[in-house]
Amino acid sequence: LNAKSVAVSFQAVWALGNIAGDSSVCRDYVLNCAILPPLLMLLTTSTRLTMTRNAVWALSNLCRGKSPPPEFDKVSPCLPVLSRLLFNSDSDLLADACWALSYLSDGPNEKIQAVVDSGVCRRLVELLMHNDYKVASPALRAVGNIVTGDDIQTQVILNCSALPCLLHLLSSPKESIRKEACWTISNITAGNRAQIQAVIDANIFPVLIEILQKAEFRTRKEAAWAITNATSGGTPEQIRYLVNLGCIKPLCDLLTVMDSKIVLVALNGLENILRLGEQEANQSGTGINPYCSLIEEAYGLDKIEFLQSHENQEIYQKAFDLIEHYFGVEDDAAVAPQVDENQQQYIFQQPEAPMEGFQL
């Protein structure tokens, strides 16, 4: 790395980057050989684009990996250099710098805070609008990782005008970009009510609901999380806004998918809406939950009834509770779980209950 010959140091960087990229064991071995200081020095002094590209690629390999990740104290000294490199105009270099930052921000809030403190957030948000997909994609991953942090860390990204950029990415021709944008927004809607309101004000939810209806399933899943998170932490007015946009029908449509986790996400979203309706019924004195009929009209009640025979215990318990609490179905025998006549309790409450659920 310290050779006077540029050709030799170039090949040394290339070799070390390849070794580090082979496995987490090799990566840690290279890091323990104190590669970082000379590599960062090279990045600071090099005037050749080919060398800088090569060194940033090697640096991204040193930051890469999740099982286990590199020791953060050994790679975090590269943050100031990465911060400066984000203002380069070369797409290849920018892509590797953004990937390195996405690796460094993938983890607990302490790591995220170090990345935030390095001052990269505003530039990362700007790079969301880069015309080269290979730059916008890792920039989006880094931004998405940062908003998995606490509300204050998320707010730093929002203060950089990220929401209009995310709205733009929701209509990207690349499905993977749309999926990651939905995932990023779902972490923002898991924040506080002011942050949910910021997503509303950015006019993002109408697009999310359209995605929930029409996109590929992997993207619909992330949009479902974004909507359900907003119903969990939102104000009554914010939840009503989502209902008025038409979120109930696409949530009901998700009740028939094979992915149990997403069925639960949809059920939780509908439960949050029904809970608000119950509060409104009590306040108005009518006793009528206005959202029950909307769910019935979307064939949601039929689907919830059917879920009482689902193999997943959490799903059929949730489905039964929703029916019992909110719908008061007249033909109880048709929807109620089987009862153990000897014990006078529902079979699913028995520890040895079969997991196939109940018969309708």
pLDDT at 83: 98
- On whether the pTM is more than 0.85, the answer is yes
Residue with tokens 């390999």: 61
**Residues contacting 42, CB < 8 A, separation 6+:** 1, 9, 13, 51, 55
Note whether 295 and 214 are same-domain residues.
Answer: yes
Residue at 185 is within a domain: no
Q: What is the mean pLDDT of residues 124-153?
A: 98
Note whether 113 and 238 are same-domain residues.
Answer: no
Note whether 70 and 138 are same-domain residues.
Answer: yes
User: 212: domain CATH number?
Assistant: 1.25.10.10
Note whether 121 and 232 are same-domain residues.
Answer: no
Contact present, 208 and 169 (Cβ < 8 Å)? no
pLDDT at 330: 46
Note whether 211 and 154 are same-domain residues.
Answer: no
Q: What are phi and psi of 346, to 5 degrees?
A: -70, 145
Residue 5: pLDDT band (50, 70, 90) is confident
Residues 182-199 have pLDDT tens digits of 999 999 999 999 999 999
Residue 338: pLDDT band (50, 70, 90) is very low
Q: What are phi and psi of 345, to 5 degrees?
A: -150, 165
Q: What is the mean pLDDT of residues 328-334?
A: 49
Residues 144-165 have pLDDT tens digits of 999 999 999 999 999 999 999 9
Residues 274-294 have pLDDT tens digits of 999 999 999 988 889 999 999
Residue at 63 is within a domain: yes
Residue at 337 is within a domain: no
Q: What is the DSSP letter of 345?
A: E
Q: How many CA atoms lie within 13 A of 10 on its CB side?
A: 11
Residue at 175 is within a domain: no
Domains held by the chain: number: 2
Note whether 14 and 152 are same-domain residues.
Answer: yes
Domain that holds residue 24: 1-160
How many percent of the chain have pLDDT more than 90? 85
- From 99, 129, 160, give the residue that closes a domain: 160
Q: Looking at the predicted structure, is the pLDDT value of residue 57 above 60?
A: yes
Q: What is the DSSP letter of 1?
A: -
